Amino acid sequence: MLGVFGGLLAATPPAVADASATVARLQRAAAAAGLADRDTWRALVHYEPNWMHGGVHSEVGSDWFFLAGPDGRHDPAAELDATIAGLFSDRPVGPRKLATYCLFVARRKWLVRQLDIDVSQLPVHDCPKYRRWKAMLSPRQASLIFPAAFPNSPSSMFGHTLLRIDSSKRRHGTELLSYAVNFAAAAPDGQRGLGFVWKGLTGGYPGIFGLFPYYKKVKQYAWIENRDVWSYSLQLSSAELDRMVDHVWAMDHVEFAYYFLNKNCSYQLLSLIDVARPGLHLTRQYSWYAIPSDTIRSLSDVPGLLGPARFRPSMEAVLRSETHQLSAAEQSLARRVSRHRLSPDAPAVKALPRARQAAVLEVAYDALHYQLASDNVAAPVKGETGEVYANRILAARARLGGRSPFAPVTEPARSPDEGHRSLRFKAATVYAGDKTSLAFRLRPAYHDLLDDPGGYTHGQAIDFADVGLAVDPENGHVALDDFKLLSITSLSRRDAWFKPVSFTLSTGARRRPSTHLFTGRDNDLGYYLQGGPGLAWGRGNLTGYVFGQVSFDANPGLAPAYAFGAGPSAGLLYYPHPGVQMRADAGWLQYAAGADGHYGWAGLGVQVPLIRELALRSNIKYENLRRTDGLRIDLGVQAYF
């Protein structure tokens, strides 16, 4: 790699000749020590093995990141030699125009230690911008942060992960003043919907790292999107933390290919932890898809890496907990105050004991604050905005003094790392159409309403790429029973304080009815799209819900080969005992176009745990069409991986 200095050697100044000789000597030493094959070097340049043939390639998409030019993308030795040479040059690199010494700090520190480089020989010795940045962070500890799943947002339907860098300057309990390292798709502001989903699935956006004040992320997740947030301290040594933070410095302006299912936030944060502790090879476990909760479980599998889980409830969770601690009369007062129908100093409020006044005003303030976090709420008091009115409630509460009368939010019994694995396989016996067959299901992700809810968001279900196969035991014929490309159900409970709208959506391939498989009757597989809005109510372990659904089927078994209809559905979801789930549902679709008639169904599903990651599941379903009907019963065992 002496070509880096080829032009300089023509003049042959002694200092340049000495530098060239030193570079050549260090490159030979690096080759003899096999540094290019070390886990640390592979992690620092984000190399991963090629799928179809030998060798490696880097996941980085920015050309300037490779000092060896195009060769550096797939040749670790060439990039290492070029980095050694770059340390002996003050040539600016990348969009920030920094010398190699100051840009690739983690690379530089590692090579200096491995090769015993005399830094006094290097042309650059000080990096003011890096020093100020590192002093601002003053890293003391890193924590993995997991905002819970948020089905209403396509980019966060499986949850999200980021890193928090805790400062040595902060006092206990002031983690909001720390900084967060986030990886996300660099999508234009405001771009969401189906176009966003498609580009996110197909690599239409670059992915970039960003550094943000942590309080901004908490405001986004816990206050605006109302997602519970979990944190896990990473038990890293000071050297491991230092290497990871230095690598974050080099990641500014670096672009990666972003894919929602695998090369996503969780995958790339694992790559940072691989930099901190080389040899874990965390990213190699996720070639096909990387779900945030699964990556947390992978980290928990590493002995001594993750500290205990800490829970930060969302604003909605706090408000629900507080309202449950008020009497019905107190709730009525708090609602009237929060909705500007009663002054915070009204006689009805002052008539309460001092502690109960405080409780009513706290709930009124939190309820209004909850609205203000996502909507611009204006108080009907002349000349007063929602924010000003909220401060008036807060001032009335402050005059009462004393501690908050509320008990803290009860932490969920299980944290996300303790939830079931998302890959699920089921083997079952099926009775349908007066015939018994075998059935197998494989679902890569993620969670449905009959799975154990421990560690997952209550009432939220997402099934992705769930495929069902059936085997006729008489002749061994195998048939595709159904395929759920994506199925989402969000049951958000309503009460006097909260009026969310639930929804369900499912698309893929199915049969109508499913009970006639292997009977010789028309039962062709076809595409379907079905879903709609709904309402849910409940308390404790029981949830009831109703939906208004629209359905479209394109199926050669129908006459004609499509059907479009709409109708209601309703159900009950009950968790009578930890690990035991029951669901009953029924619905009716009246076809308005295409196939004449209707489609009705009623079903009951139960899941009971056997041992950890193994459960017994049974479903009974009756289906009715104008010309036919059928009963299907299945009983099987499913395992989570």
Q: Per residue in 139-190, pLDDT tens?
A: 999 999 999 887 666 667 788 899 999 988 766 657 878 999 999 888 876 6
- Rg of the chain (C-alpha set): 30
* Higher pLDDT pick, 69 / 524: 69
Provide mean pLDDT across the span 446-463: 94
Tokens for 507?
């698309």
Instruction: Please tell me the predicted confidence (pLDDT) of residue 154.
Output: 60
Tokens for 472?
């006729």
Question: Which residues lie below 8 Å from residue 462, measured CB to CB, with a gap of 6+?
Answer: 149, 151, 157, 158, 445, 446, 447, 448, 486, 487, 488
Instruction: Please tell me the predicted confidence (pLDDT) of residue 266.
Output: 92
Name the nearest CA neighbour of 67 among 94, 32, 38. Answer: 94
d(CA 7, CA 16): 10
d(CA 230, CA 241): 21
Provide mean pLDDT across the span 306-335: 95
Contact predicate 609/398, CB 8 Å = no
Provide mean pLDDT across the span 2-10: 37
Name the nearest CA neighbour of 515 among 413, 437, 605. Answer: 437
CA 533 to centroid of chain Cα atoms? 24
Tokens 């874990």 sit on residue: 280
Provide mean pLDDT across the span 1-17: 42
Provide mean pLDDT across the span 123-148: 95
Domain 419-640 carries which CATH code? 2.40.160.40
Model confidence band, residue 7 (pLDDT cutoffs 50, 70, 90): very low
Instruction: Please tell me the predicted confidence (pLDDT) of residue 450.
Output: 98
pLDDT over threshold 60, residue 255: yes
Kindly tell me the burial class for residue 387, based on how many C-beta atoms sit within 10 Å of its own C-beta (0-12, 13-18, 19 or more): middle
Instruction: Please tell me the predicted confidence (pLDDT) of residue 157.
Output: 75
d(CA 301, CA 641): 13
H/E element, 166:
strand 162-167
Cα three-residue angle 140-141-146, rounded to 5 degrees: 150
d(CA 251, CA 351): 60
d(CA 152, CA 218): 18
Model confidence band, residue 262 (pLDDT cutoffs 50, 70, 90): confident
pLDDT over threshold 80, residue 437: yes
Instruction: Please tell me the predicted confidence (pLDDT) of residue 474.
Output: 84
Among the listed ranges 374-383, 403-412, 592-601, which one has the minimum average pLDDT value?
374-383
Instruction: Please tell me the predicted confidence (pLDDT) of residue 524.
Output: 76
Model confidence band, residue 514 (pLDDT cutoffs 50, 70, 90): confident
Instruction: Please tell me the predicted confidence (pLDDT) of residue 150.
Output: 74
Model confidence band, residue 383 (pLDDT cutoffs 50, 70, 90): low
The C-alpha torsion from 469 through 473 and 474 to 480, rounded to 10°, is 0
Instruction: Please tell me the predicted confidence (pLDDT) of residue 203.
Output: 83
Strands (E), 315-423: none
pLDDT over threshold 90, residue 137: yes
Tokens 């009124």 sit on residue: 364
Model confidence band, residue 9 (pLDDT cutoffs 50, 70, 90): very low
Total-model pTM: 0.88
Model confidence band, residue 596 (pLDDT cutoffs 50, 70, 90): confident
Mean pLDDT score across all residues of the chain: 90
Name the nearest CA neighbour of 505 among 520, 523, 485, 524. Answer: 485
- CA 211 vs CA 69, 96, 247: distances in Å: 27, 16, 12
* Distance in angstroms between the alpha carbons of the first and the last residue of the chain: 47
d(CA 248, CA 136): 14
Name the nearest CA neighbour of 590 among 557, 555, 560, 550. Answer: 550
Where do the domains of the chain lie? 2-126, 134-312, 326-400, 419-640
pLDDT over threshold 70, residue 68: yes
Instruction: Please tell me the predicted confidence (pLDDT) of residue 375.
Output: 63
Tokens for 108?
């530089």
Instruction: Please tell me the predicted confidence (pLDDT) of residue 10.
Output: 38
Where helices occur in 34-65 by DSSP H, the ranges are 39-44
Tokens 């004040």 sit on residue: 213
